[in-house]
Amino acid sequence: MTIQLDLDLSRDPLRVLESTRPIVQSSSLVQIDTQQIERVATLLGEMPVPKPDWDRLLHPVSPDSARLANLVLVVDALNFCFWSFPNSEKPRWQVTWNGTTYNGYAALAVALRRAVEAGYPLWDGDFLGTITEADVSEILAGDPDCDQIPLLRARMTHLREVGVALVERWEGTFLHAIRAANGSSSRLIAEVLRALPSFRDTVLVDRREVRFYKRAQILVADLFGAFGGKGLGAFADLHTLTAFADYKVPQVLRHLGVLTYAPELVAQIDRQELIPPESDAELALRAATVWGVELLRQEIARRGRDRPAYAIDWALWQAGQALPESVEPYHRTLTVYY
């Protein structure tokens, strides 16, 4: 049975919902359970609305707005793939800083903060544009005897790309792009996609472009958080952001029963086998994540509460950080997009 997916194009300027809808409607690998949508919407609707945050104890920070904007861009240029390969003999990549050990995204944040405090000018386009793999390896060095962060060379490429764009397109500061967007997240995302190929999170399916834009969208949310939702961090259309389709949010949606997987996909994920990028399974997982969150948003709205998709995503992602190790694993795809 084809699931009903209502779409308001005025809420979808990036066409993420529109482009992913056919995948959800046709996939036999991942299904959305509409009865569980109602149950989970009740839980989420009663929770306070989480706001995009920029933890100033973990992230690299600066009192200078131009440097801070560049640092946020650097963080999200590197915001992907923090897991270890299955059957690794070492612990996953982790970073101990100021006596506390972090993994995942938090480890990235503290590694970059550590580097800034050690004198690496990670806001400087000239430095980033010629950064070496040795520099990146040192900046993102994990604890002794743990795995190296995945896709290290790709991270170097992303940093160089950011550096070139800062120097050649934005006169050294991402503030020029932010100001030119004039409070529009969709305009800012469009500029980022033009300037930085590594943010172009799309795939062609039957000659149609499917869009996810995970890191480009979360960049806007992070700017909101870093600047406190005011001035440079004020976006009038933040409500049009979709879920940031990654590997943690679908894990939580599966755990809650919102997403159900075909038996062969369950077996593949539970065995922690790699799901190839742009495969039918990977696209179905991400598209169902986008629409699972959108249906939760719609159901909560029908009950008279306003919960934008990004806030639902954040609530689910935060819940994912507290899941016990015994819970169903997340899917693993080796990609720079999430």
Q: CA–CA distance from 275 to each of 4, 163, 226, 284 (Å)? A: 27, 32, 33, 11
How sure is the predictor about 92, in pLDDT bands with cuts at 50, 70 and 90? Answer: very high
Q: What pLDDT shows up at residue 1?
A: 52
How sure is the predictor about 106, in pLDDT bands with cuts at 50, 70 and 90? Answer: very high
Q: Around Cβ 303, how many Cβ atoms within 10 Å?
A: 11
Q: What pLDDT shows up at residue 13?
A: 97
> Is the pLDDT reported for residue 80 higher than 70?
yes
What does the pLDDT average to over 303-320?
93
What does the pLDDT average to over 164-192?
98
d(CA 153, CA 258): 36
Q: Which of 246, 270, 306, 313 is catalytic?
A: 246
> What is the residue extent of each domain of the chain?
9-320
Is residue 233 within 8 A of residue 227, CB to CB? The reply is: yes
Q: Provide Rg for the chain, Cα atoms.
A: 19
Q: What pLDDT shows up at residue 180?
A: 98
What does the pLDDT average to over 233-254?
97
pLDDT digits (tens, 9 = 90+) for 47-79: 887 776 789 899 999 999 999 999 999 999 999
Q: What pLDDT shows up at residue 84?
A: 85
DSSP state of 28: S
Is residue 251 within 8 A of residue 320, CB to CB? The reply is: yes
How sure is the predictor about 4, in pLDDT bands with cuts at 50, 70 and 90? Answer: confident
d(CA 219, CA 80): 12
**Angle, helices 65-77/214-226, rounded to nearest 10 degrees:** 150
d(CA 312, CA 49): 8
What does the pLDDT average to over 36-46?
92
Give the dihedral sign, CA 17/19/25/29: negative
Structure tokens at 280: 């039918």
> Is the pLDDT reported for residue 336 higher than 90?
yes
Structure tokens at 155: 């991270």
Q: What pLDDT shows up at residue 197?
A: 98
Q: Which residues of 37-76 are buried (b: 16+ CB within 10 A; e: fewer)?
A: beebbeebbeeeebebebeeebbbbeeebbbbbbbbbbbb
pLDDT digits (tens, 9 = 90+) for 111-159: 999 999 999 999 999 999 999 999 999 999 999 999 999 999 999 999 9
Residue with tokens 């190839």: 276
**Torsions phi, psi of 218, nearest 5?**
-70, -25
Is residue 70 within 8 A of residue 173, CB to CB? The reply is: yes
Is residue 101 within 8 A of residue 94, CB to CB? The reply is: yes
Q: In residues, how long is the chain?
A: 338
How sure is the predictor about 86, in pLDDT bands with cuts at 50, 70 and 90? Answer: confident
Query: What string of H, E and C letters represents the secondary structure of 45-56?
Result: HCCCCCCCCCCC
How sure is the predictor about 266, in pLDDT bands with cuts at 50, 70 and 90? Answer: very high
Structure tokens at 95: 């970073």
Which of 37, 61, 107 has the alpha carbon at shortest distance from 295?
A: 37
Q: Which residue has the higher pLDDT, 57 or 336?
A: 336
147 is catalytic: no
